[in-house]
Structure 1
Amino acid sequence: MKNVPTKTIKIMVEGGNAKPAPPLAPALSQLKLNVGEVVKKINEATAQFKGMSVPVSVEVDTNTKKYTVSVGIPTTTALLLKEAGANEPSGDTAHKKIGNVSIESIAKVALMKKPSMTCKSVKSAVKSLLGSAHEIGITVDGRDPKEMVKEVDEGKFDEVLNKYEEKWNGETQ
């Protein structure tokens, strides 16, 4: 089998809002691709991450001009901020809280981040995300997330987390 010459363009875009402008447009034009068409495909593929920065790769077969758009996962901070309805981290987490999320929201983010996490279970992923929530000034169920880590270990949230554990274990990634 002959090697297919491919070129990969990696870029961060706002979910559902990529623009046919630099640095994307020149890179696509150079490869003789229809910039508007590729941008439309990127926006469709990233629509679920509206308002968040999302890593995107466009892999192009330079012979046939066929391409595939691959969407990465937004950062943990971006996902937590979206869940909390906040725009940016607190900057002063001891005195300024920027939002509140439920333990269920934390589990949902854990599931989204699974491909990039090394955790073996939803519980361990949730504990990691509770630390992240604390660091950016988000409370969980109206409380300091750091206080909840022990309760996760004690099984206090098992009823909520178990349904995510099934999805965690059932997904092949």
Structure 2
Amino acid sequence: MPEIKVLVEGGKASAAPPLGPALGPLGVNIGAIVAAINEKTKHFAGMQVPVRIIVDPSTKNFEIEVGSPPTTELIKKITGSKGAANPKAEQAGNLTMAQVIDVAKKKVKKMNFKQLKGMVLQVIGSCSSMGVRVEGKLASEFIKEVKAGAYDSLIEQNLK
């Protein structure tokens, strides 16, 4: 079955490229697909979201799978900043640990302590590359605290 993968702005997909030209040759109702994508991605407004469209060529039925936006997009939405040009010298925002955990929960597929803590560390790593601090500290310093277990109880509470 044909499969199309695109990156669209949440809630603002249109029949313009890249969707229209990719879907046109399949003979499907492009308007219906665009409407379904917009409905499924509206809560990601202002962010780029990966979308996968699977089309059954014989019935013209389609299935839409919406992925999670890239971690940096989720961080940008919270901070309102695109990140620092020089992350080592500039600060582009600050996240609380609760915000970091919220982003991690949107990214992790299986929800157990080990996976959530690992994703928290990845989110903090993304903060580091963007010049975003966590709890007012450099991300590199904060990673050490998380690895040492300073936030294990907070992470554990968020599994529920």
TM over 0.5: yes
The alignment covers a number of residue pairs equal to: 158
1:24 aligns with 2:16: no
Counterpart residue type for residue 136 of structure 1: M
- Show structure 1 runs of 4+ deviating over 4 A: none
1:154 aligns with 2:148: yes
Which residue of structure 2 aligns with residue 144 of structure 1? 138
Counterpart residue type for residue 56 of structure 1: V
- Aligned partner of residue 162 in structure 1, secondary structure: helix
1:55 aligns with 2:38: no
Q: CA deviation at 1:128?
A: 2.4
Gapped regions of structure 1 (runs ≥ 5): 1-5, 168-173
Gapped regions of structure 2 (runs ≥ 5): none
C-alpha distance in structure 2 between counterparts of 1:63 and 1:125, whole Å: 41
Counterpart residue type for residue 46 of structure 1: T
C-alpha distance in structure 2 between counterparts of 1:36 and 1:128, whole Å: 37
Asked whether the equivalents of residues 105 and 116 of structure 2 are also in contact (C-alpha less than 8 Å), the reply is: yes
RMSD: 1.8
Greater shift, 107-116 or 76-85, is seen at: 107-116
C-alpha distance in structure 2 between counterparts of 1:111 and 1:63, whole Å: 38
- Aligned partner of residue 83 in structure 1, secondary structure: helix
Q: CA deviation at 1:7?
A: 1.0
Q: Which of residues 25, 44, 48 is equivalent to 2:39? A: 44
Q: Deviations over 1:46-95 (max 9, x none)?
A: 11211111111110000001001111121111111112222x22121122
Q: Deviations over 1:92-132 (max 9, x none)?
A: 1122211111111111111111139xx93322221222121
